[in-house]
C-alpha cells in the first residue's frame, strides 16, 4: 500500500493550502484516515482524523482546518485556512487499512509534504 501526498508549499500567514493524499495497493477497505504533522525539534502530532463519517481535530486547528474524504478514490484531503507560522511542519497522511485476503488492520504513512507559513 502506498500513500502519496501533494499540495504542500510556501504560503504567507493568513493564506490557504489544500493537502491531498491518495492510497493505492492491495486495499480492501480503509477505516480511518488522517493527517499528522511534525515541526522541527518536536514530536509528530495529530492534526485531524476521519473515521466512518466522524472527525476529530487538534484544538490548535479547529475552525481553520477541514478534513474530508472520498472513499471511492481512497483519498483524504485537508483544507487549511488562516494559516499561521506555527502551522509550519511536515504533514503526513495516515491510513488504517484492511488488506484484501489478509486479516487485520494495518497502519500506513505517506512520505510527508512540507508546509511553510511565512510571517
pLDDT in tens, 11-31: 999 999 999 999 999 999 999
Strand boundaries in 1-119, DSSP class E:
2-6, 9-12, 17-24, 27-38, 45-51, 54-57, 65-70, 75-80, 89-99, 105-109, 113-118
What does the buried/exposed string (b/e) look like for 31-58 if buried means 16 or more CB atoms within 10 Å of the residue's CB?
ebbbbbbeeeeeeeeebbbbeeeeeebe
pLDDT band (50, 70, 90) for residue 42: very high
Cα–Cα distance for residue pair 84/99, rounded to 1 Å: 38
Model confidence band, residue 45 (pLDDT cutoffs 50, 70, 90): very high
pLDDT 10s digits, 47-77 = 999 998 899 999 999 999 999 999 999 999 9
- Bridge partners (DSSP) of residue 73 are none
Amino acid at each position: 500500500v502506498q500513500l502519496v501526498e501533494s499540495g504542500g508549499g510556501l504560503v504567507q500567514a493568513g493564506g490557504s493550502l489544500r493537502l491531498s493524499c491518495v492510497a493505492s495497493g492491495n486495499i480492501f477497505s480503509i477505516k480511518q484516515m488522517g493527517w499528522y504533522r511534525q515541526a522541527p525539534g518536536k514530536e509528530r502530532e495529530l492534526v485531524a482524523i476521519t473515521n466512518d463519517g466522524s472527525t476529530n481535530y487538534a484544538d490548535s486547528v479547529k475552525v481553520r482546518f477541514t478534513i474530508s474524504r472520498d472513499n471511492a478514490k481512497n483519498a483524504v484531503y485537508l483544507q487549511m485556512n488562516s494559516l499561521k507560522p506555527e502551522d509550519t511542519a511536515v504533514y503526513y497522511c495516515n491510513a488504517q487499512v484492511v488488506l484484501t485476503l489478509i486479516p487485520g488492520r494495518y497502519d500506513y504513512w505517506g512520505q510527508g509534504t512540507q508546509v511553510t507559513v511565512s510571517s
